[in-house]
Amino acid sequence: MKYPIETEPPVDLSADEAALLREMPELDGVGQSRRTFMINSAAGGVGLFAANLLAQEAALAQMPLAKGAATAPIKAQNVVRVGLQVNGVQQTLELDSRVVLLDALRERLALTGSKKGCDQGQCGACTVLVDGQRVLSCLTLAATLEGREVTTIEGLARGDQLHPVQAAFIKHDGFQCGYCTPGQICSAVGLLGEARRGDVSHVTADVSKTTTRLTDDEIKERMSGNICRCGAYPGIVAAVQEAHSGRQTAQTWGFATDTQLASLRKEDGHETV
Ligand code: FES
Ligand code: FES
């Protein structure tokens, strides 16, 4: 039997690659170089891996599978019943034991304020509060939350009255596209609790105090797990600082007046109405 590896000039195949080619005689005469074949195989493998991940995620969250995302349904395993409070409402969920809090919130309770950015603990977009402490919901198994209290961005306001951190974010323009904002605000609310308890951070100068006054450097350090791709950081720091210190600082933006809008339209060549 003849294999490409024996008929072509030596190339830098690893032992695993060479073994794989020996296992697949149908490659003989395919017309691809071994390297091209290996690259394509790798790409195909990644595609399959991604499809499997999508299928698994959809199945775990009990969503309809996207067409072509999977060939076989994945059954929920180790189903557990979890009772927890979410935004003050008692919930009982039956979940595959692998389901993370973020998916339970978004797919089972329709609380889509918490965002799935990286899904691996890197961006902070999924931050929520568990018993008042901030956690990354994409890294928190829902099954571990029996009897716990979860607060998401949807649970911070009291009716029409915004949480002080929410109001400060609006006042200080602490967002642009808004994608990271639910996580930023939940993280900031958790951070204010940490300061009240006197939790120290990497930049705390005096660790003997029982409460922490948040300098801008403290806020930047403690919010560093929340990424904002729009770069709204100056507004975020100002908002957290105002919510923490209670010192009112001037709003740096305002809605345009009718006269200003009319003048802008004129400058743009549009007639005023
Ligand atoms: S989605 Fe959880 S940290 Fe990015
Ligand atoms: S406001 Fe756009 S990512 Fe933060």
Q: CA 116: distance to chain centroid?
A: 4
What is 79-155's CATH topology?
Ubiquitin-like (UB roll) (3.10.20)
Domain ranges of the chain: 4-60, 79-155, 164-245
- Testing ligand 1's pocket by substitution, the residue of 57, 106, 122 carrying the most ligand atoms inside 8 A of its CB is 122
Q: Could you read off the pLDDT of 138-177 as tens digits, one per residue?
A: 999 999 999 999 999 999 999 999 999 999 999 999 999 9
Tokens of 220: 């930047």
Query: Ligand 1 centroid to 227 CA: how many Å?
Result: 10
With 70 as the cut, is the pLDDT of residue 215 above it? yes
For ligand 1, whether the C-beta of 122 sits within 6 Å is: yes
- Testing ligand 1's pocket by substitution, the residue of 103, 112, 136, 180 carrying the most ligand atoms inside 8 A of its CB is 136
Under DSSP, is residue 9 helix (H, G, I), strand (E, B) or coil?
coil
Starting from the CA of residue 121, give the closest ligand: 1
Supply the CATH classification number for the domain 164-245. 1.10.150.120
For the CA atoms of 250, 181, 150, 119, what is the dihedral angle to 10 degrees? -150
- Pick the range with the lowest mean pLDDT from 3-7, 49-53, 119-123, 215-219: 3-7
Under DSSP, is residue 220 helix (H, G, I), strand (E, B) or coil?
helix
Query: Concatenated DSSP letters for 55-103?
Result: HHHHHHTTPPPPTTS-SS-----SEEEEEEEETTEEEEEEEETT-BHHH
